[in-house]
Amino acid sequence: MLKDGIIVANNRTGEILNKSLPVATTEYSQLIPAGTRQFTISSRLMGTLRIALNSGETTTKYLTIPAGASKTFKDLAVRGLTLYVQSDTGSDVMEVECWKDTV
């Protein structure tokens, strides 16, 4: 069900975040909303994404999400999580689907 631009399903509320990644191999940051229990990341333009937990680590300590793939993180209790990301494709968009428990 869509209510006020937010998806509600199975006692969870969904939110979609789109992070513009205009320059290839440049690091950008994206805050994951507090209370997020699950999120999925993918590239809109089929770029390979590098995801890190600390600024400056998208070239050293990172998780790779290959072109055409997605990665889901489950069973979380997010409080102030910032992801750092870069794509190997210019003008890419990182799509993040976040789910919180409905209060």
pLDDT interval class at 1 (50, 70, 90): low
Domains and CATH numbers, the chain: 2-101 (2.60.120.10)
pLDDT digits (tens, 9 = 90+) for 9-42: 677 899 999 999 999 999 999 999 999 999 999 9
At 10 the pLDDT is 72
Buried b (16+ CB within 10 A) or exposed e, 10-49: eeebbbeeebebeeeeebbebebeeebbbbebbbbeebbb
